[in-house]
């Protein structure tokens, strides 16, 4: 019996196809994808042969992680939790989010199993995110285990930094390679407003930035979501920080997600940010970006650090996208702005073999769209709130 058919039957038997197997966040199902795998037929070679060639490392890159446009997905972002110790207005809806019950979240073993499959297929970089990844108790253990995966080059983390300083040594010992810390303001009162948490939390994030730099995380990336009338007056101050600190500030265009009350008037385009920066630093230099960089990099001559822009809204980088995402409840998202998801958790729990999972992942990757919708349509599109995706 063909493997794809067997997989379909297993899932049907376990009753996970109807309505649950592929689900669309926050809405009834919009696209239901048959788990039957047809990619081999589409591309000439049978998927069995592809799989054999893959295993022998004959193909230049995993067939299953390559989409129809030839984009090779070697970067996986894993959300470790839906929980967070901050409640940033642009990420967490005011009313909060319904949390998935613990038994439906990926266990440590399931995370490591899925990560192992992706790495075996050619993923070279994994970023742990959330929610706040550091609120997960087994985060150090997960990093230790990920670092044992042959072929995985980098394990990074995006964190709000609130509890980072005290966990830093353990994270470093476990082998964490790279840290991005989110910081949207240098003003404690504003931090309180944005994060809906006490203003003294701000000093803990600032301490985490200094300690991470001291611990040798270089370059240390700082993510700053820029919102009009809220923190756009601080853009120049952030750039000023790069004078003596070897940090890489990444200004992120504010993106729409469910419940974050996004509108175009609150968004500051990277071109406007550049204009603002040039009023203070007219001779900024463009830095050469690496092929899959999401950030357009710049530097003030003579500054120790640099800065850049993540321009998902006004100049998307879909053409070079190499990223896939796993949500904390085990859904694979091939695009941050796509609401089609595939539950690897359900497939694992219904007894799918590793080969079955690879085929399932491959089929999802092949369905990845060339690019996400434009700004105005994104605002109206149903998606998860960012906190339930993992940025
Ligand atoms: N809690 C961690 C943190 O804040 O760094 C990790 C998760 S957070 C969802 C990951 C990144 O997504 C953060 O840098 C955050 O600023 C960014 N983010 C969240 N909502 C966003 C939005 N609406 N637009 C742009 N970036 C956003
Ligand atoms: Fe939490 Fe990060 Fe979202 Fe802020 S951006 S609410 S810190 S997950």
* Predicted pLDDT of residue 45: 60
In contact, 245 and 203? CB cutoff 8 Å: no
- Ligand 2 contact, 160 CB (< 6 A): yes
To the nearest 10 degrees (0 to 180), the angle between helices 188-195 and 201-214 is 100
> DSSP assignment of 234-260, as one string?
GHHHHHHHTTTS-EEEEEEE----TTS
CA distance 278 to 384: 36
Q: Where are the alpha helices (DSSP H) in 83-199?
A: 108-121, 139-146, 164-174, 188-195
Residue range 107-154, pLDDT digits in tens: 999 999 999 999 999 999 999 999 999 999 999 999 999 999 999 999
Question: What separation, in Å, do the N-terminal and C-terminal C-alpha atoms of the chain show?
Answer: 40
Cα 196 to middle of ligand 1, angstroms: 15
* Predicted pLDDT of residue 14: 33
In contact, 247 and 220? CB cutoff 8 Å: yes
- Ligand 1 contact, 258 CB (< 6 A): no
Q: Please report the atom of ligand 2 found closest to the CA of residue 225.
A: 5
Give how far the C-alpha of residue 229 lies from the chain's centroid of Cα atoms, to the nearest Å.
27
Taking only the tens of pLDDT, the chain with its 391 residues reads: 344 333 333 333 332 332 233 333 333 323 323 333 334 433 456 666 766 666 666 667 999 999 999 999 999 999 999 999 999 999 999 899 999 999 999 999 999 999 999 999 999 999 999 999 999 999 999 999 999 999 999 999 999 999 999 999 999 999 999 999 999 999 999 999 999 999 999 999 999 999 999 999 988 999 999 999 999 999 999 999 999 999 999 999 999 888 888 988 999 999 999 999 999 999 999 999 988 888 999 999 999 999 999 999 999 889 999 999 999 999 999 999 888 899 999 999 999 999 999 999 999 999 999 988 766 677 777 778 888 988 7
SS3 content of the chain, % helix, strand, coil (to 5): 35, 15, 45
* Predicted pLDDT of residue 381: 78
Give how far the C-alpha of residue 172 lies from the chain's centroid of Cα atoms, to the nearest Å.
21
Q: Take atom 22 of ligand 1 and give the residue whose Cα is closest.
A: 255
Q: What residues pair up with 306 in beta bridges, in sequence order?
A: 248
Most ligand 1 atoms within 8 A of CB, residue of 80, 179, 182, 249 to mutate: 182
* Predicted pLDDT of residue 29: 27
Burial (CB < 10 A; 0-12, 13-18, 19+), residue 110, is middle
- Ligand 2 contact, 130 CB (< 6 A): yes
* Predicted pLDDT of residue 292: 85
* Predicted pLDDT of residue 126: 98
Q: Take atom 7 of ligand 1 and give the residue whose Cα is closest.
A: 130
- Ligand 2 contact, 342 CB (< 6 A): no
Cα 181 to middle of ligand 1, angstroms: 10
* Predicted pLDDT of residue 127: 98
* Predicted pLDDT of residue 142: 98
CA distance 333 to 360: 12
Cα 297 to middle of ligand 2, angstroms: 24
């Amino acid at each position: 019996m063909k493997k794809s058919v067997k997989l379909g039957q297993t899932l049907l038997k376990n009753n996970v196809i109807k309505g649950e197997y592929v689900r669309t966040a926050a809405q009834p199902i919009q696209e239901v994808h048959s788990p039957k795998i047809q990619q081999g037929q589409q591309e000439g070679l049978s998927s069995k042969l592809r799989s054999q060639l893959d295993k022998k490392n004959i193909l230049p890159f995993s067939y299953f992680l390559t989409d129809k446009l030839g984009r090779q997905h070697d970067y996986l972002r894993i959300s470790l939790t839906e929980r967070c110790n901050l409640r940033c207005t642009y990420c967490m809806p005011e009313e909060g989010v319904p949390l998935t019950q613990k038994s439906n979240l990926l266990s440590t073993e399931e995370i490591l199993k899925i990560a192992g499959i992706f790495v075996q297929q050619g993923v070279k970089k994994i970023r742990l995110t959330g929610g706040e990844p550091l609120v997960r108790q087994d985060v150090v253990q997960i990093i230790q285990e990920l670092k044992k995966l042959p072929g995985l080059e980098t394990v990074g983390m995006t964190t709000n930094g609130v509890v980072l300083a005290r966990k830093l040594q353990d994270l470093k010992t476990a082998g964490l390679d790279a840290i991005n810390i989110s910081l949207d303001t240098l003003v404690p009162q504003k931090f309180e407003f944005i994060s809906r948490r006490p203003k003294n939390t701000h000093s803990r994030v600032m301490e985490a930035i200094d300690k991470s730099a001291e611990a040798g995380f270089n370059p240390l990336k700082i993510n700053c979501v820029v919102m009009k009338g809220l923190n756009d007056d601080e853009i120049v101050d952030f750039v000023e920080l790069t004078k003596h600190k070897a940090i890489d500030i990444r200004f992120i265009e504010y993106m729409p997600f469910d419940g974050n009350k996004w509108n175009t008037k609150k968004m500051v385009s990277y071109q406007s940010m550049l204009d603002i920066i040039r009023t203070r630093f007219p001779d900024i230099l463009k830095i050469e970006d690496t092929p899959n960089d999401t950030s357009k990099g710049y530097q003030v001559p003579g500054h120790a650090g640099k800065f850049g822009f993540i321009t998902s809204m006004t100049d998307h980088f879909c053409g070079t996208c190499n990223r896939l995402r796993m949500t904390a409840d085990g859904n694979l998202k091939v695009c941050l702005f796509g609401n089609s998801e595939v539950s690897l958790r359900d497939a694992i729990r219904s007894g799918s073999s590793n080969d079955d999972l690879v085929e399932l992942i491959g089929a999802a990757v092949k369905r990845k769209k060339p690019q996400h919708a434009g700004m105005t349509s994104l605002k109206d599109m149903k998606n998860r709130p960012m906190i339930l995706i993992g940025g």
